[in-house]
Amino acid sequence: MSLTIGSPAPQFSLTNQHGENISLADYKGKKNVVVLFYPFAFSGICTGELCGLRDDLAAFQNENVELIAISCDPMYAQKAFAEKEGYKFPVLADFWPHGAAAKAYGVFNEERGCAIRGTFIIDKEGILRWQVVNGLGDARNIVDYKAALASI
């Protein structure tokens, strides 16, 4: 399933690493949102990507934009991962129903039971403005996210 740029983004409501419910709708009318799906907490490429975002967080989490990372790991794994790596952005658990948000965004790998590397930029009105989907082993380039955000 491929999402169409200019269409409303699929809604989700998931638990973050602190056990709090976070919904895409929470940001409507307030902030643009970078939704980043990743395969597994504590895996090498995922850790590298999220640490890159952590180290440049002001570009992705400020008065105009919110960064949300999502994997199919359970909330307790997300909590341990976020604490170990010092993530100060929401790390959401798409654990149950397993992969429902990843499926809605067309990035769930049924064979492996995880999300693949999909990144989606959603504007303040809930409209999908940019997306990139990479394979499980293909890291993303955060410079591309910055360019996409600058165009909104």
Helix (H) or strand (E) holding 32: strand 32-37
Cβ-Cβ contacts under 8 Å for 89 (sequence gap 6 or more)? 53, 54, 57, 60, 61, 66, 67, 68, 69
Q: Name the residue with tokens 């643009």.
A: 32
Active-site annotation holder among 46, 51, 72, 114: 46
Known active-site residue 46? yes
Q: What share of the chain is helix, strand, coil (3-state, %, to 5)?
A: 30, 25, 45
Residues belonging to the active site: 46
